[in-house]
Structure 1
Amino acid sequence: MKYILLIPLVMFGLISTSCINDDFTDSSSATLAFSTDTVSFGTVFTDLGTPTARLKVFNRNKKGVRISSIRFKDSATPFSLNVDGVSGTSFGDVEIRGGDSIFVFIESFIPETSAVEPWRVADQLEFVTNGVTQEVEVEAWAQNVTRLKGERITADTRLTPKLPYLVFDSLTVDKDATLTIDPGVRMLFHDGASLIVHGRLEAVGEVGNMIHLRGDRIDNVLPDVGYEVLSGQWGGVVIAPESFGNRIEYVEMQSSSTGLRVDSCGDLSRQKLTLVNSWLHNSSGSVFESRYSKTDAYGCCFSESPLAVVSLTGGEHEFVQCTIANNYLFTAVTEANLSLYHCLPSDDADNRNSLMKANFENCIVWGIGKAINEGKLDGSDVYLKNVLLRADGTDDGHFVECIWNEDPLFLTIRNDYYFNYHLQPDSPAIGRGNPSYVNAACLYDMDGVARLPEPTSLPTLGAYAGVSSGEGVDH
């Protein structure tokens, strides 16, 4: 009986295995297909190595093929291979069954040179199948960098835009030293690295030549989507309690863990920080946090955080022509986009620091989550004037000529990973500002567009004075 039962099982096994086509073709017409014709690493840093790129190789034929050779054309290539989990410089007799595929993984290490400008490095990856050679282009743009590892600035120092700066660990500005960052400087921070200022920071860019602070991953996380969409790639900027007189103008800072943080421990006798025409965005903590400090912001855009985009505790603040927006991608937003603390008499139980004084003028506060954490500001010294808010409400002594719950119509398309806080032509924020609030610091926006082109002009609310269709705009 046992053997009788085994007979149908053996028969079934033979039938099942006969469905697998182990035949291989030697026809020259049985060529391969590839997931792309060019594997591009984009810009890579010398002496550092690249992330791994993936190429998928398909056999769309009914029969199997044997690839007799996989190798780079240049024997001195800077690129290296891994075929289906095996590393090497060349491979032979690689089999792909009919209708199946394999993965080829590619990495690169490019030595440092004396070049200032990026240069193209390329090779052809050859596949020879049944005497037919097919090629896939592999390229990278190599960039030399100035490496700063655990660096301390102990005397006045200037960073110039000759080469990007790659910061490992942290860059610390000691007390009594000033770090000056010139227009066009790119500072790239490795995972966990931060800029910590005990002395003074003077980061002043120009229209069309901004200073950039971001993580050091400059490849793509998705096709056509750069790593800058991912927050938490580096630490952030910390301006310590003993640091005063800091200035940040025409700076783009993105993809940090803690954003820009300042604390003066209640010393309001000196200006802590002035921010002008800058875009701070995409932080896994608050984008900008100020505690008991005297900080002002003019023409700035703050955006993308799961916490408060702007968090202010006590202190003195003036925010004019600013956009505070939130379209954070990866987790729920848990705090109001503009969060104000120690501003109401009920907040002052400890009586250690004076209550907040703040004016928000010609601004926009809009996005996922609540607009502001305080629904009533009675008894405070906090005023929102000509501010567009994502909230239902009415004007009172602290909310003056505000626009309630009217979509400002940003160009941002969150689901397409496109973040652009310029306004569409029919935005309700256009011409709704008070011209008397436009001071010398924000006469022009970060694109160089005049807020008051005519004596009778009414300014547009928010960071951007110009109206855009989106074409040619990078933000």
Structure 2
Amino acid sequence: MRHFFVLLIFGILLAASSCRTDFDTVASSGDLKFSKDTVYLDTVFKNIGSSTYNLKVYNRSKEDINIPIIQLKNGLTSKYRMTVDGMNGNNGKVFNNVTLLSKDSLYIFIETTADITDANPTDFLYTDEIQFDSGSNLQKVALVTLIQDAVFLYPKQNPDGTKEKIEIDGKEVDGFYLDDNDETNGNELIFTKQKPYVIYGYAGVPENKTITFEAGSRVHFHDKSGLFISNKASLQINGAISTTKNLDNEVVFEGDRLEPEYSDVPGQWNSVIFADGSTNHSINHLTLKNAIVGLDIRNQDGTTFQITNTQIYDCSNYGILAQNAKINGENIVINYAGLAALSCVYGGDYKFTHCTFNNTWSGGQQFAVHLSNKLTGAIPENNPLTQATFNNCIIYGSNANEFNLDKNTAAAFVYQLNNCLLKFGSTSNPDYQFSTDTAHYNAIILNENPTFFNTNLNKLNIDKTSAAFAKGNQAYIIPLDILGNTRTSPPDLGAYQSKDFPK
């Protein structure tokens, strides 16, 4: 019992000493150190909040100090806001009497939401500064953000407070139909390069209408948003060869977070959906990134969907998911998808030439290419695959098997690979006898590394050391590669001619 009372008294004394909150401090002398002298908050669209950025403040002295004030220069009117060691201060703008212990540091977290009218009209920069103390002890850290103007397209609010809806797959989702005579935006079915576009919800193309994307247009999709091409509606993407790293003539679809850390994050927006019966589609020089499903193509009306010179990256499910579609694809590059780079299901008619399908998604169930004439839940569950032809293509990835056939013998299943580099492990399955089954496979290069430049950066260029170098068949050649360079004879496999290897 005596030992118990001794421990109890010791615990009380320890608790009392640990609860001390008064510190003998001295006034700040203007000798604070900072992790950076300028905080650059990456480009944001007007009135869309930025990511959170941090600044670390150090007290290198041997004394505990009191900082009388930490504030934004523009005060309560500033478009920046911050927290200081978890404190919100006065609306995140002004903080009084902040204690910083000797040899210690504090974190400041900064974010912004600003309009284009807040920015400097000559360079579209919005600036402010964090001020520490005042007078002769004043220290400053600059804040800089580029505000980008945009055309915002979103569901209108109904009189009862609900959002406008459209129907997709029998379900109502937040969305709206684009208007070719909108009172604010004019013709919303023609996307130009004058300003980027930001879409909230699903933007629908009405029946018997065509949506056109001019060269250089940029479309940014918010979370859970996408594009919906209705029955009898059409899509035309008219991108062109770009001469700069900025892809000046490329049409670009991506998420609406512009910060570099979001550039390769999958699943930031939903999909471009081509509904049953949509028609007369053409895509040239499109770069699509960060979707759940890049292109979701369903039961076309029999017209051929032409897809050329197109790059699709970082999709959490599929790069292209085609269901009973008819596609002619040339110079297509797809990399990194949670299920398959290219998945053609429920039959259809497909021809791909000089395409690169690669999948480096971590896991064992992903494919670069998946072909099937089945669809669970459909009536009937099988549909003829009348053609699936791959010429001068690369089908590769990080798994042992990157090519998958899922057949129902009750329907046709016609496929052929000619002069392709393919990754596939050994098997006795008669569907995968690449050297002896000449009805389906001709001149297959099996399990040799194409040595892409950098798959993590979506650089699927090759050089002369690649197993795909000069292995193509001249009979299938597309004269120009995806970058507009002339192919040699014999051509390289895939979408890139080897001289395009980055320096």
Which category describes the TM-score, using the shorter chain as reference length? 0.7 to 0.9
- The residue number in structure 2 matching 1:232 is 267
User: Could you tell me which residue of structure 2 aligns to residue 356 of structure 1?
Assistant: 386
Q: Which moved more, 1:101-110 or 1:184-193?
A: 101-110
Partner amino acid, structure 2, of 1:107: E
Partner of 2:403: 372
1:60-459 map, 5 Å: 60-75=60-75, 76-83=77-84, 84-86=86-88, 87-113=91-117, 119-128=124-133, 132-150=137-155, 151-153=176-178, 155=180, 157-198=189-230, 199-208=233-242, 209-220=249-260, 226-264=261-299, 267-268=301-302, 270-271=303-304, 273-313=305-345, 314-328=347-361, 332-342=363-373, 350=380, 353-369=383-399, 370-374=401-405, 380-392=413-425, 394-395=434-435, 396-397=437-438, 398-412=440-454, 414=456, 418-438=457-477, 442-452=478-488, 457-459=489-491
What do residues 369-406 of structure 1 show as CA deviations (whole Å, max 9, x unaligned)? Answer: 32111399998421111111112464231121111111
Change (3 A) 1:325 1:352: closer
Aligned twin of 2:54? 54
Q: 1:213 to 1:14 in 2, by over 3 A?
A: closer
1:1-41 deviations in whole A, cap 9, x for unaligned? 58972697179739976999944344737x22323332112
Matched residues in 2 for 1:353 and 1:18: separation?
74
Q: CA deviation at 1:258?
A: 2.0
- State how far apart, in whole Å, the 2-side matches of 1:407 and 1:117 are: 50
Q: Please tell me whether the aligned partners of residues 313 and 336 of structure 2 are also in contact (alpha carbons under 8 angstroms).
A: yes
| Match of residue 223 from structure 1 | none
- Given that 1:116 and 1:162 are in contact with CA atoms closer than 8 Å, whether structure 2 keeps it comes out as no
Name the count of aligned residue pairs: 446
Identity of aligned residues (%): 26
SS of residue paired to 1:13: helix
Task: Label 1:4 to 1:275 Cα distance change in 2 as closer, same or farther (>3 A).
Answer: closer
- CA drift of 1:189 comes to 0.7
Q: Which one is further off, 150-159 or 443-452? A: 150-159
1:175–1:4: structure 2 CA closer, same or farther, 3 Å change rule?
closer
Residue 38 to residue 470, structure 1, CA distance change in 2 (3 Å): farther
C-alpha displacement of 1:275: 0.6
* Kept in 2: contact 1:28–1:130 (CA 8 A): no
Gaps of 5+ in 1: 221-225
Could you report, residue by residue, the CA deviation over 1:145-181 in whole angstroms, capped at 9, with x for unpaired residues? 1011134135583111111101011110011000011
Partner Cα separation in structure 2 for residue 186 and residue 116 of structure 1: 22
Q: In the TM superposition, what is the alpha-carbon distance from 1:251 to its structure 2 partner?
A: 0.5
- Opposite residue 415 of structure 2, the aligned amino acid is V
Q: TM-score, normalised by structure 2?
A: 0.80
Tell me the CA shift for residue 363 of structure 1: 0.7
Q: CA deviation at 1:237?
A: 0.3
Q: CA deviation at 1:130?
A: 10
Q: CA deviation at 1:263?
A: 1.2
Q: 1:358 to 1:117 in 2, by over 3 A?
A: farther
**Distance in 1 separating the partners of 2:179 and 2:199:** 17
Change (3 A) 1:253 1:391: same
Structure 2: where are the runs of 5+ without partners?
Answer: 156-175, 181-186, 243-248, 427-433
Q: In 2, are the aligned partners of 1:122 and 1:139 still within 8 Å (CA)? A: yes
- Distance in 2 between the 1:43 and 1:11 partners? 54
CA contact (8 A) 1:118 1:142 kept: no
**Using the alignment, how far apart are the partners of 2:212 and 2:194 within structure 1?**
14
Q: Which amino acid aligns with 1:449?
A: N
Q: What's the counterpart of residue 10 of structure 2?
A: 9
**Paired AA for residue 222 in structure 2:** H
Distance 1:201 1:34, change over 3 A: same
Q: Secondary structure at the match of 2:453?
A: coil
**In the superposition, relative to structure 1, how do residues 179 and 6 fare at CA in structure 2: closer, same or farther (>3 Å)?**
closer
Deviation, 1:64, is 1.8
Does the CA contact (< 8 Å) of 1:64 and 1:96 recur in 2?
yes
Three-state SS of the structure 2 residue aligned to 1:50 is coil
SS class of match (2:452): coil
Distance 2:455 2:358 in 1: 13
Aligned residue identity for 2:144: E
Q: Distance in 2 between matches of 1:375 and 1:359?
A: 16
- Alpha carbons of structure 1 residues 159 and 413: separation in structure 2 relative to 1, 3 Å: closer
Tell me: CA distance 1:45–1:385, structure 2 relative to 1, closer, same or farther (3 Å).
same
